Amino acid sequence: MPMKLTIVGLPLGNIEDISLRVVRTLASAKMVICEDTRVFHKLWQKLQNLGHLSAPFSGRLMVINDFNEAEKVNWVLEQIGPEGESILVSDAGLPLISDPGYRLVRELLSRGGSVEVVPGPTAAMTALAISGLSADKVLFFGFLPKKLSKRKANWDLVKAADGVTVIIYESPFRVTKTLEEIRNEFGDQTPTVIARELTKEYEQVLRGSAAELVGKIEKIKGEVVLLFRYEK
Q: How do residues 195-205 score in pLDDT, each as one tens digit?
A: 999 999 999 99
Q: How do residues 79-99 score in pLDDT, each as one tens digit?
A: 999 999 999 999 999 999 999
Task: Return the pLDDT at 162.
Answer: 82
Contact 207, 165 (CB under 8 A): no
Q: How many other CB atoms are found less than 10 A from the CB of residue 103? A: 17
Share of the chain above pLDDT 90, in %: 91
What domains appear along the chain, each with residue ranges and CATH number?
A: 4-118 (3.40.1010.10), 123-230 (3.30.950.10)
Residue 182: pLDDT band with limits 50, 70, 90:
very high
Q: How do residues 67-78 score in pLDDT, each as one tens digit?
A: 999 999 999 999
Vertex 232 angle, CA 185 and 152, to 5°: 30
Query: Is 216's pLDDT higher than 90?
Result: no
Helix, strand, coil percentages for the chain (3-state, nearest 5): 35, 25, 40
Beta strands in the chain (DSSP E): 4-8, 31-34, 60-63, 85-88, 114-118, 138-143, 164-170, 191-196, 204-209, 224-230
Which helix (H) or strand (E) is 135 found in, with range? none
Contact 11, 19 (CB under 8 A): no
